[in-house]
Chains A and B, each alone.
Chain A
Amino acid sequence: MSIDYNKYETVIGLEIHVQLNTLSKTYCSDSTKYGAAPNTHISPVSLGHPGTLPVANSKVIEYAVRLGIALNCTIRERNEYARKNYFYADLPKGYQITQDKTPICDGGFVNVTDKNGDPKKIELTRIHMEEDAGKSIHDIDPFDSLIDLNRAGVPLLEIVSEPVLRSGEEAYSFISEVRKLVRYLDICDGNMEEGSMRCDANISVRLKGDTELRNRVEVKNMNSMRNVQKAIELESKRQIGVYENGGEVDQETRNYNAAKNETSILRSKEDAHDYRYFPEPDLSPILIQQDYIKKIKSTLPALPEELFSKYTKEFGLSDYDARNLTETKAIALYYDEISNHTKEYKMAANIVMGPLKSHLNDKAIEIGEFNLSASRISEMIQLIKDGKIANSKANKELFPLMVKSPDVTVQKLAEENHLIQESDSDALLEFVQQAIAKFPDKAEAYKNGKKNLLGLFMGEVMKLSRGKADPKVTNQMIREELEK
């Protein structure tokens, strides 16, 4: 039986866990450094020893407020913590300290582009603060599971979206916007493969036009943005298949296996957790005043949307260019710096997206490791603008030299390497006259109407000038000389 998937629409809500890049953990002062030897960044607090008390990290509050402002949320004034109770070996206290009824951020939204390229506003439910659990390792030892508590207590912000996403593609776009933002805000490195950003998806399907939600399935363990997209597409097809075969989709938790590209059941509804939330009495409430929010707001960096609108509206760049330039903060900042030195915005954009990006790709480096200052790029632009070097020559030959000698002025580099094109008319005139003298018969033929011989003289002048002659000026001059 063939299934008509188009009868259905997919309804998706995402939960994104953002691991914050603070120095110390969220409720105690252990280091959060990634990659240390197992069980070396722990203390009696993170071990959950009786009698220990948590103390909240001020940086976590600051980061949560930063994210909340950037995502257009309402920041809560009175914040309380809650205990979420469950037994698992990598959670030594037997509960996770989180926020239940008073998330630090309510509402908010993220602008994404849907699959037709149109803008779509993805509303958020909330963002709350919580702590990470330790790490259980099941595949090293055949008999035991191994526990490393270095991660226990590392701060997380959980971003919960409303069930307003409609496809895997939209989910992908949403996550990549969130990732871009947390990187701009410098609160998380956004690395899904290493687990510093994690995503769970709540997925259900329904007939198009229906308004009621059907049973949803939570899918976990998708460690890349592409995997989130694939898992959603897969799960949505599975559910449609179940309904079309007359079945019912159970509310359950499923695990995504990227290698097999399949989901399998992790927990059924009967095994669903009963977390018995209650207020965390060991941490006093956090009051967030308007003054504090204002202060944080004033320290926020320019965000991608702002830069995008600056580049399109003030600089006259295309949406495509502006989107490319704002994709990563460091590139955007570099471009912004060039734009402080030159008004040739489009040319600057072309250099950044062209030779500069391919250099970074070739060398597999980030722009932070790139040692050429933005003002050198503006010097290069000036040479092109003044007609001293052709655009393509600047990109192909001058740019690599600049990268090699970042301390030398671009003018000097171009001169030393004979890249300055001759538009100096005396020198050029000499070349033109030499070229004409070399082919007197052809000059005669030109005068008699064989205008396509111009190319021959052009070629000769280029040869004589070793390619440095400005083609436009040369062309004009040859014609004038021949038609004398």
Chain B
Amino acid sequence: MKVDDKLVEHLAHLSRLEFDDVSKEKMKFDFEKILDFVAKLDEVDTKGVEPLVYMSAETNVLREDKVKGEVSQKDALQNAPKKDTDYIRIPKVIKN
């Protein structure tokens, strides 16, 4: 499948990523390879076969409404690239 600039740009926007022209070309090449690889599945005749969504046939896997398993604030913030004692900090996403 042909992947054009427009598609790469659209996906980049949805993922909030930016590519320069060189990386964009590389992305297009990778995307095409991935899509061609997956397209292999189209060769299988799936007429009358229901799509498989779940790995098990279980239904109604529910839990009781009870509080448990919380982590401490310190642990919760541990992996954030930028933080203070209370919050995860991110670049400002809206103008004041």
Q: Which residues of A contact B (CB under 8 A)?
A: 22-24, 28-31, 37-45, 47, 55-59, 61, 80, 85-89, 136-139, 141, 143-149, 274, 276, 279, 281, 283-287
Contact = CB atoms under 8 A, between A and B. Distances in A.
A31 B60 contact: no
9 contacts: A40-B72, A42-B71, A56-B63, A57-B62, A89-B93, A136-B93, A145-B92, A149-B76, A286-B62
A138 B65 contact: no
B23 interface: no
A29 B71 CA distance: 11
B60 A29 contact: no
Given A55-B61, A144-B82, A29 B69 contact: yes
A278 to B, nearest CB: 9
B59 A284 contact: yes
Given A136-B93, A149-B76, 4 more contacts: A40-B70, A47-B76, A145-B89, A285-B60
A284 B63 contact: no
Interface residues of B, number: 39
A281 B54 CA distance: 5
A274 B61 contact: no
Interface SS of A by simple majority = loop
B73 to A, nearest CB: 5
A23 B93 contact: no
A276 to B, nearest CB: 8
Given A89-B90, A89-B93, A23 B67 contact: yes
Nearest to B71: A43
B61 A138 contact: no
Contact of A286 (B10, B60, B67): B60
B63 A55 contact: yes
Contacts of B77: 39
Nearest to B68: A29
A40 B92 CA distance: 23
B55 interface: yes
Contact of A147 (B59, B63, B71, B89): B89
Given A30-B67, A144-B91, A274-B14, A39 B82 contact: no
A53 to B, nearest CB: 10
3 A-B pairs with least C-beta separation: A59-B65, A146-B87, A58-B62
Nearest to B55: A281
Given A56-B63, A284-B56, A285-B59, A31 B89 contact: no
Max chain A C-beta neighbours (<10 A), residue from B14, B71, B73, B88: B88
B48 to A, nearest CB: 20
Interface in B8-30: 10, 14-16
Contacts of B72: 40
Given A37-B86, A144-B90, A146-B88, A30 B63 contact: no
A288 to B, nearest CB: 9
B67 to A, nearest CB: 4
A284 to B, nearest CB: 5
B70 to A, nearest CB: 5
B87 A137 contact: yes
Contacts of B84: 146
Contact of B93 (A40, A138, A148): A138
Given A57-B63, A138-B94, A281 B53 contact: yes
B7 to A, nearest CB: 12
Contacts of A55: 61-63
Contact of B88 (A31, A39, A58, A143): A39
Contacts of A89: 88, 90, 93
Contacts of A148: 86-87
Max count, chain B CB within 10 A of own CB: residue among A22, A45, A47, A139: A47
Contact of B62 (A24, A28, A61, A144): A61
Contacts of B96: 138-139
Give the most central of A136, A147, A283: most B CB within 10 Å: A147
B67 A24 contact: yes
A102 B23 CA distance: 40
Nearest to A278: B53
B63 A58 contact: yes
B80 to A, nearest CB: 8
Contacts of A39: 73, 76-77, 86-88
Interface in B23-43: none
A283 B59 CA distance: 9
Contact of B87 (A147, A274, A276, A284): A147
Contacts of B90: 89, 144-147
A146 B89 contact: yes
Contact of B89 (A41, A56, A141, A286): A141
B66 interface: yes
Nearest to B86: A38
A40 B72 CA distance: 6
Nearest to A292: B60
Nearest to B17: A87
A286 B72 CA distance: 32
A148 B96 CA distance: 19
